[in-house]
Amino acid sequence: MNREEIQHWFSGLQSDICEQLEEADGLGKFINDEWQRPGGGGGLSKVLTHGKIIEKGGVNFSAVWGKAPAPVLQALKVEVTSGVEFFATGISIVLHPYSPMVPIIHMNTRYFELSDGTYWFGGGIDLTPHYINQEDASYFHRQLKNICDKHHASYYPEFKKWADDYFFLKHRNETRGVGGIFFDYLNEKDGFTKQARFDFVKDVGRAFAPLYAYYMKKNQSLPFTEKEKQWQYLRRGRYVEFNLVWDRGTKFGLETDGRTESILMSLPPQAGWEYDHKPAAGSNEEKTLSLLKKGIKWVK
Amino acid sequence: MNREEIQHWFSGLQSDICEQLEEADGLGKFINDEWQRPGGGGGLSKVLTHGKIIEKGGVNFSAVWGKAPAPVLQALKVEVTSGVEFFATGISIVLHPYSPMVPIIHMNTRYFELSDGTYWFGGGIDLTPHYINQEDASYFHRQLKNICDKHHASYYPEFKKWADDYFFLKHRNETRGVGGIFFDYLNEKDGFTKQARFDFVKDVGRAFAPLYAYYMKKNQSLPFTEKEKQWQYLRRGRYVEFNLVWDRGTKFGLETDGRTESILMSLPPQAGWEYDHKPAAGSNEEKTLSLLKKGIKWVK
């Protein structure tokens, strides 16, 4: 398949996901914001705020191209040569629910191509519960493992470890949440065809909305108090820290004149910081912190 | 003067400033949190929360030393040689008030020394009003200019421009606030002695508490509504963006295993993000945005 087909598929995925999320939310509607990139291409940002369950969510599609700037090539570890053209398309999603009992979720799928003929797929999906419980985390990893196993036995263990390493706040020695899968530089090698890689990415993309709808439905009515809301603000603060300090896409976009509003759609509507907060011994907050670790086997 | 005298002076300045801020606040008290740095030295973080005027404020002192890590030397543009020892001491302050009518303020003064004999002073102070008004901004710059002019006619214009360039959110094309002064690499050269540089840094340090107390007193009783609070959250969001994306000290500290809680003391108690927020035409919010520009001559 060529780049137009891939771009077209991602664009369709954006619509499908937004439709499914609106249905699951039951109140909120996405608004559309189309934008152009001065150097070539553009995107469509879809934003939902003040839904019934989703407080702030963004689903961004973009397809951009042009001369590859030197920092882009450096970041990709491509030897810098003048005149290289790039093409990139994909969607990225972050959803922040009102309820601290419903997790934050993120997904990104992307395709990248250079005029020298190299190309690859990348992406990831990870779950950030404000309160971690074993059952929800295991369900998430079970679904991801099922998708991965359909394509290759090496995928889940490899991409699960990659997510643990990627969605990690080094300065806190904490993972962002319960992880998920992360993958990059998938192209035709080791017996994989381009079509096989794309099929995998498609399966990940299609799984997103039903997976999050499951948590929306299951957890939206769980009771909570102001105490859980305060904890949610602190956890959202950590989400901000990850995105602004460590997330490659965010850092890179902000430093290379990306479209700021689309990049920062991932930030929560409201977040908090407290000096040296320590949860009470034996509390659910302390239990959550104890589970923000790499290497937990959520699927037995 | 030697490094112990400088360290001692900064430590005393921390106490003085905290005393003056407690007096100006009238309710809040700083709590002390001493910490050690595994590689050498340590610090004292002083934190005030839930004061009458100050919602969250941190005044951090540190004096750290040891083998200079390669990234530190790189960041300082010092040719990397093994066995270089460094010493650094200073204080840094950020205060977030409850009222959106009272500005956020930041100050940092520091001294750095390497075992090869090189040393320098650095620092800065800048004001971030949630609502900018000409009178408050001009008063701030007038006080800073008076201090600078006592020491050298070149200081204010040079350090004011440096602050405009430093306290700048490139991805928003906005300054953080109304700026102030920023300086670095001040040592004995161009006719300046080490003592003269230190005397300047001392004057900046001593000016801080009275200057902020002026705004606390003057603006604390100004009326505001929920609308101004919401705007304050958005402005605090930008403060978070600056500190996590652009601030050299924060980025550097987080990437080199600095003491996270002391570094992130600068973050607000609560901040917000809204997709593509545009203030109403002719509003005070719009006026404030229009003044977040480099190169404004606040002192006529």
* Residue of A193, A197, A14, A145 whose CA lies nearest to A89: A14
State the average pLDDT over residues A63-78.
80
Distance CA B285, CA B152 (A): 36
Q: Does A300 touch chain B (CB under 8 A)?
A: no
CA-based torsion, B258, B259, B262, B263: positive or negative: positive
Tokens matching residue A235:
């956890």
Residue A137: predicted pLDDT? 98
Q: Which of A247, A276, A277 is the best substitution to test chain B (most B C-beta atoms within 10 A)?
A: A276
Q: Quote the percentage of chain B above a pLDDT of 90.
A: 88
Residue A148: predicted pLDDT? 98
Q: Does A249 touch chain B (CB under 8 A)?
A: no
Alpha-carbon distances of A89 from A8, A209, B64, B175, B282, rounded to whole Å: 9, 20, 46, 32, 39
Q: Does B82 touch chain A (CB under 8 A)?
A: no
Is residue B290 over pLDDT 90?
Answer: yes
Tens digits of residue pLDDT in A237-270: 999 999 999 999 898 788 777 899 999 999 999 9
Is residue B81 over pLDDT 80?
Answer: no
The beta-carbon neighbor of B271 closest among A251, A265, A271 is: A271
Chain B residues touching A261 at Cβ < 8 A: 275-276
Q: Does B28 touch chain A (CB under 8 A)?
A: no
pLDDT category of residue B68 using cuts at 50, 70 and 90: confident
> What distance in Å separates residue A295's CA from the closest CA in chain B?
22
Is residue B196 over pLDDT 70?
Answer: yes
State the average pLDDT over residues B192-212.
98
Is residue A80 over pLDDT 90?
Answer: no
Q: Do B275 and A254 touch (CB under 8 A)?
A: no
**DSSP three-state, residue B90:** strand
Is residue B19 over pLDDT 80?
Answer: yes
CATH level 3 topology of A3-290:
oxygen-dependent coproporphyrinogen oxidase (3.40.1500)
Q: Does B74 touch chain A (CB under 8 A)?
A: no
Q: Quote the percentage of chain A above a pLDDT of 90.
A: 88
Q: Which of B273, B274, B278 is the best substitution to test chain A (most A C-beta atoms within 10 A)?
A: B273
Distance CA B198, CA A113 (A): 55
Is residue A87 over pLDDT 70?
Answer: yes
Distance CA A93, CA B180 (A): 38
Mean pLDDT of chain A: 95
Residue A281: predicted pLDDT? 97
Q: Which of B96, B106, B130, B141 is catalytic?
A: B106
Mean pLDDT of chain B: 95
Tens digits of residue pLDDT in A119-166: 999 999 999 999 999 999 999 999 999 999 999 999 999 999 999 999
Contact present, A134 and A123 (Cβ < 8 Å): no
* Residue of A105, A99, A98 whose CA lies nearest to A178: A105
Which residue on chain B is closest to A59 by alpha carbon? B275
The beta-carbon neighbor of A47 closest among B45, B257, B275 is: B275
Which residue on chain A is closest to B256 by alpha carbon? A171
What residues contact B212, with CB distance under 8 A and at least 6 apart? B21, B24, B95, B105
Distance CA B269, CA B106 (A): 15
> What distance in Å separates residue A1's CA from the closest CA in chain B?
35
The beta-carbon neighbor of A276 closest among B170, B261, B269 is: B261
Contact present, B67 and B83 (Cβ < 8 Å): yes
The answer to ipTM > 0.90 is yes
Residue B273: predicted pLDDT? 98
> What distance in Å separates residue B85's CA from the closest CA in chain A?
24
Chain B residues touching A251 at Cβ < 8 A: 245
CA-based torsion, A6, A10, A15, A16: positive or negative: positive
Chain B residues touching A263 at Cβ < 8 A: 171
Residue A111: predicted pLDDT? 97
Q: Do A58 and B275 touch (CB under 8 A)?
A: yes
> What distance in Å separates residue B97's CA from the closest CA in chain A?
14
Is residue A71 over pLDDT 80?
Answer: no
Instruction: Count residue pairs from A and B with Cβ separation < 8 A.
Output: 88
Is residue B76 over pLDDT 80?
Answer: no
Tokens matching residue B74:
């790189």
Q: Does A254 touch chain B (CB under 8 A)?
A: yes
Tens digits of residue pLDDT in A1-32: 899 999 999 999 999 999 999 999 999 999 99
Contact present, A103 and A97 (Cβ < 8 Å): yes
Question: Quick one: angle between helices B134-151 and B155-166, nearest 10?
Answer: 130
pLDDT category of residue B80 using cuts at 50, 70 and 90: low
> What distance in Å separates residue B193's CA from the closest CA in chain A?
38
* Residue of A107, A96, A140, A91 whose CA lies nearest to A239: A96
The beta-carbon neighbor of A245 closest among B254, B268, B269 is: B254
Residue A81: predicted pLDDT? 66
Question: Considering all CA atoms of chain A, what is the largest pairwise distance in Å, rounded to the nearest integer?
Answer: 59
Is residue A92 over pLDDT 70?
Answer: yes
The more confidently predicted of residues A284 and B82 is A284
Which residue on chain B is closest to A169 by alpha carbon? B254
Chain B residues touching A49 at Cβ < 8 A: 274-275
Distance CA B123, CA B80 (A): 24
* Residue of B154, B213, B215 whose CA lies nearest to B181: B154
Q: Do A273 and B269 touch (CB under 8 A)?
A: yes
Alpha-carbon distances of B13 from A5, B7, B263, rounded to whole Å: 64, 10, 19
pLDDT category of residue A74 using cuts at 50, 70 and 90: confident
Q: Does B66 touch chain A (CB under 8 A)?
A: no
The beta-carbon neighbor of A275 closest among B47, B251, B254 is: B47
Chain B residues touching A170 at Cβ < 8 A: 254-255
Residues of A with catalytic function:
106
pLDDT category of residue B251 using cuts at 50, 70 and 90: confident
Tens digits of residue pLDDT in A194-233: 999 999 999 999 999 999 999 999 999 999 999 999 999 9
Q: Quote the percentage of chain A above a pLDDT of 70.
A: 99
Domain chopping of chain A, boundaries: 3-290
pLDDT category of residue A167 using cuts at 50, 70 and 90: very high
Q: Does B261 touch chain A (CB under 8 A)?
A: yes
Residue B232: predicted pLDDT? 98
State the average pLDDT over residues B232-261.
92
> What distance in Å separates residue A112's CA from the closest CA in chain B?
23
pLDDT category of residue A73 using cuts at 50, 70 and 90: confident
Read off the pTM: 0.96
B106 counts as catalytic: yes
Which residue on chain B is closest to A254 by alpha carbon? B171
